[in-house]
Amino acid sequence: MKGSQVITIGESLVAFIPNAHTKLRYVQQFSKVVAGAESNVAVGLSKLGHPTSWVSKVGTDEFGQYIIRELRAEGVDTSHVLVSDEGPSGIMFKQFSANLASQVFYYRKGSAASTLKVRDLDWEYLKGAKILHLSGITPALSASCRDVVYELFSFAKQEGIPISFDPNIRRKLWSEAEAKRTLSPLIVQADIVLMGEDEGELLLASNDRHRIASLLLEKGAKAVGIKRGGDGAYVADATGIFDIPPYPVKVVDTIGAGDAFNAGFLAGILEGSPIQHCARMGALMGALAVSSYGDVEGLPDRKAFDDLMLDEKEIER
């Protein structure tokens, strides 16, 4: 696919979803899906009609082939995914307790994606992006992945390509101190910042939404989306700061909601919509993600999405 509007770079894993709400030791059967913050955003955007590309590295194994096949089936360009024998494709298991709370267990240390290096990327290809979307998960994977992310920020600034950045702090992958040291310099360089409310405390020393938004806009961000889970979202740009209420839905799996919000929000940005509309698009995508198991399985195609935007009551089905 030529001319992807959004290029995302990061690790995707095969996620095993248990068929029972109990500890994994008692689970007998699993279904498998693809999960990954960056590829989730690519799939969400692709479903909304925006050409996307996912760039990464997978192992020379069946799981690597499965990841590529699934993302390609969702319309994501995987032509710049490297297949490498430097490590296996990463996997993860979800665990659901009786009250539907989700937990995640990663088996990704030493994975193929963690060996991604600056020289692995096709920099000419990346010049064609309208937006580069990155997350703070990638620099947590290894020193070489951290170098890749820093290099991508420099490259995008040099080429005038807007960077969309979600710090997406994963405390299972690194310490808060290391996350703060690595991500604080990045978040203030991004053109579009999409973050959780709790991440403001760690990275910007504030949990006040107004303060977080003002700080980021002062540093040069063009658009800010602060995700508040069941409380909706808070967005800001040069036109102002706006509160966006949540869509009421029955929650079955909260994992992937933030990525779905990012996809809807970025679709609005690409379409030149006012920031409140971008946020409503993001909020609807997030609501649809939490109402189904798996990260992207509940996301709609464009026609269904537009219908739901017009008839918001319908998603309470």
Say if pTM beats, i.e. exceeds, 0.75: yes
- What's residue 248's pLDDT? 78
- Provide the token pair at 209: 């939404």
Instruction: Provide the residue type at 114 as one letter.
Output: S
Active-site residue, selected from the candidate residues 191, 237, 253, 259: 259
Q: Could you tell me the two tokens for 218? A: 């002062």
Residue with tokens 């008692």: 26
Burial of 76 (0-12, 13-18, 19+ CB in 10 A): buried
Full DSSP string of 92-134:
EEEEE-TT--EEEEEE-TT-SGGG--GGGS-HHHHTT-SEEEE
The pLDDT of residue 253: 65
Residue 212 sits at the vertex; the CA angle it makes with 209 and 216, to the nearest 5 degrees, is 140
Q: Which amino acid is at 87?
A: G
User: Could you read off the pLDDT tens digit of each residue along the chain, which spans 317 residues?
Assistant: 356 799 999 999 999 999 998 999 999 999 999 999 999 999 999 999 999 999 999 999 999 999 999 999 999 999 999 999 999 999 999 998 876 677 889 999 999 999 999 999 999 999 999 999 999 999 999 999 999 999 999 999 999 999 999 999 988 889 999 999 999 999 999 999 999 888 988 999 888 888 999 999 999 999 999 988 888 889 999 999 999 888 877 776 667 788 999 999 999 999 999 999 999 999 999 988 877 766 677 788 999 999 999 875 544 44
pLDDT in tens, 12-65: 999 999 999 899 999 999 999 999 999 999 999 999 999 999 999 999 999 999
**What pLDDT is stored for residue 1 in this prediction?**
39
- Does domain 6-312 fall into CATH 3.30.300.30? no
Tokens for 170, please give them.
């994963």
**For position 289, what pLDDT does the model report?**
84
Domain coordinates of the chain in residue numbers?
A: 6-312
Looking from the CA of 186 toward its CB, the CA atoms found within 13 Å total 31
Half-sphere exposure of 77 (CA within 13 A, CB side): 19
- Report pLDDT for 256: 74
Rounded alpha-carbon distances, angstroms, from residue 112 to 10, 144, 151, 229, 307: 11, 12, 19, 32, 40
Return the pLDDT at 294. Answer: 63
Q: How far apart are CA 11 and CA 13, in angstroms?
A: 7
Q: Is 259 a catalytic residue?
A: yes
